[in-house]
Structure 1
Amino acid sequence: MRIGVSTFVTDEGIGAADLGRALEERGLDSLFLAEHSHIPASRETPLPEGGDLPRRYYRTLDPFVALSAAAAVTERITLGTGIALLVQRDPIMVAKEAASVDHISEGRFVLGVGSGWNREEMRNHGTDPTTRVALLGERVSAIKRIWTREQAEFHGAFVDFDPMYSWPKPVQRPHIPVLLGGEAATVLDRVMEYGDGWFPRWQRDPEPLARRIAELRTRCEQEGRERMPVVLFGVPPRAEDIAAAVELDIDQLLVMLPTLPHDETLRRLDDIAALRPGARRGAVPG
């Protein structure tokens, strides 16, 4: 079982480069970064899990920039967006940014994407919240076309461009894996249609998640598809939650790392490393 962290890197917490090095030093496997371009002051859309919106949501660094910094000082860990709000981003630029991080990291990048929840945030980017799911599908498909074709073009309802050239191409073949976030009733339809894996959030009751994972496995088998990876993110840094998550049919779990200053973050990473199955309490794997 591969275990990494999901977190928000901000201007008030540990830097991305130091965080990446610390993960490798402790034998952890991956770093996935969240993003919000901004948070509108109106705050019309409530936080999905309830409560006040934490500061980290409007102070987060751009994930592609932060992951590039981590890529430059690491050699082993997987680096990913968790998640990139693709409905708020230009697909041509995302294709280049993602391929650039994959190039810098020598093939260690994963693109996690989603349609977002903050309606006023996406409206500021010119995105209609009512059509964001269809928009997400077209943008993923367009990005994959840019990655895999020497001369790419795309003509859809939301994305439209004539034949074009764009380099670098991803190091990974046939392209960078795209993990699709979300837990809606139709999310597995979208995973099967244009994703390369599912990227759900941890839930207090793992049983519904186990059923959805089993459904994904069955659908892949019925359609003659290869087994799709499931990366579970947002797992609390508690032994009981990690133990329950490990029992699921997943490929990787990401422990939620709070956004904290440098030294406190390192102490939290020591604790997370010690919670891995088979880890010796108090040891820092090298």
Structure 2
Amino acid sequence: MHFGASMFFTDYSMTPAALATALEQRGFESVWAPEHSHIPLSRRSPWPGGGDLPKQYYDVMDPFVTLTMAAAATKTLKVGTGVCLVNQRDPIQTAKLVASIDQVSGGRFLFGIGVGWNAEEMEDHGTAFATRAKLVRERVEAMKAIWTQSKPAYHGEFVKFDPMMTWPKPIQKPHPPVIVGGAFPHGARRAVRYGEGWIPLAGRPGQYGDVFDFVPKFRQMLAEAGRSADSCPVTIFGSGEDAETLKRYRDLGVVRVSVSLPAAKEDVVLPILDRWAVLIRQAG
């Protein structure tokens, strides 16, 4: 089982290079960067975490920029979007971003995606909340065509383009894994349909259910779709610092566990990473 860490990179957090270096030194496998283009002031959509939206959501930097910096500072650490809001991004340009960061990182990019929860934010991008999931699916399908074909074309309900030529293509073949975030069962269904991985949250069991209950159900969904568990492994976000729970994740066959770090400087973050380095060794 691998270990990752996510951070809202801001102008008051550790730099992506500093965090990535610290993670690589302590045995972590990956670093993850979330995104929000902006936060509308109306705040009509409630934050799924409950209560007031944390300041870091307003302040977070672009993930492709920060992850490029993280990749440049490391040799083996994987860099992932956790998650990229595909419903708010042009698929042709995003396909080029993904292929480019996969190239400059030497094939270390993990494309975590989500459909989003902030209706006002996506509406500012011209995306309707009710149809956002289908829009994301079409954009992912279109990007896969761009990454894998020399003259890709796509014609869906929301995404349409005639044959084109666009490079670079990703180093990873056929393309970087599309790891779909979202709760069970809807996020799981999307991962089964077009993902190479699934990211459920462990940190909100009252809202999203128990990982140990729904991971077997997810694998049953894969089997019913004619897919193996290995074709769509599970990455757990929001894990707590508990060695026994981590061992249970490992025994459950979870491929990766990621901890959410505060958007803070080294004096706050490094002690957390040191504790996790011990947990990584204990979990084997």
Q: Is the TM value for this pair above 0.5?
A: yes
Q: After superposition, where does 1:57-68 map in structure 2 within 5 Å?
A: 57-68=57-68
Q: What residue number does 2:218 align with? A: 216
Say which structure is richer in helix: 2
1:213 Cα deviation after fit: 1.6
Q: After superposition, where does 1:9-158 map in structure 2 within 5 Å?
A: 9-158=9-158
- When residues 64 and 128 of structure 1 are mapped into structure 2, their CA distance, relative to the original with a 3 A threshold, is same
User: Mind listing any 5+ residue stretches in structure 2 that lack a counterpart?
Assistant: none
Spell out structure 1 runs of 4+ moving beyond 6 A: none
The letter of the residue matching 2:59 is R
**Per the alignment, in what secondary structure is the counterpart of residue 189 of structure 2?**
helix
The letter of the residue matching 1:180 is V
Q: What residue number does 1:225 align with? A: 227
The number of equivalent residue pairs is: 280
Q: After superposition, where does 1:245-284 map in structure 2 within 5 Å?
A: 245-278=249-282
1:263 Cα deviation after fit: 3.1
| CA RMSD after TM alignment | 1.9
In the alignment, the residues of structure 2 paired with residue 202 and residue 248 of structure 1 have an alpha-carbon distance, to the nearest angstrom, of: 14
In the alignment, the residues of structure 2 paired with residue 47 and residue 204 of structure 1 have an alpha-carbon distance, to the nearest angstrom, of: 13
**Per the alignment, in what secondary structure is the counterpart of residue 5 of structure 1?**
strand
CA contact (8 A) 2:192 2:225 kept: no
What is the TM-score with the length of structure 1 in the denominator? Answer: 0.92
1:242 Cα deviation after fit: 3.7
CA contact (8 A) 2:122 2:128 kept: yes
The letter of the residue matching 1:59 is D
In the alignment, the residues of structure 1 paired with residue 265 and residue 29 of structure 2 have an alpha-carbon distance, to the nearest angstrom, of: 21
1:44 Cα deviation after fit: 1.1
Q: What residue number does 1:283 align with? A: none
- When residues 55 and 237 of structure 1 are mapped into structure 2, their CA distance, relative to the original with a 3 A threshold, is farther
User: Mind listing any 5+ residue stretches in structure 1 that lack a counterpart?
Assistant: 281-286
Q: What residue number does 2:239 align with? A: 235
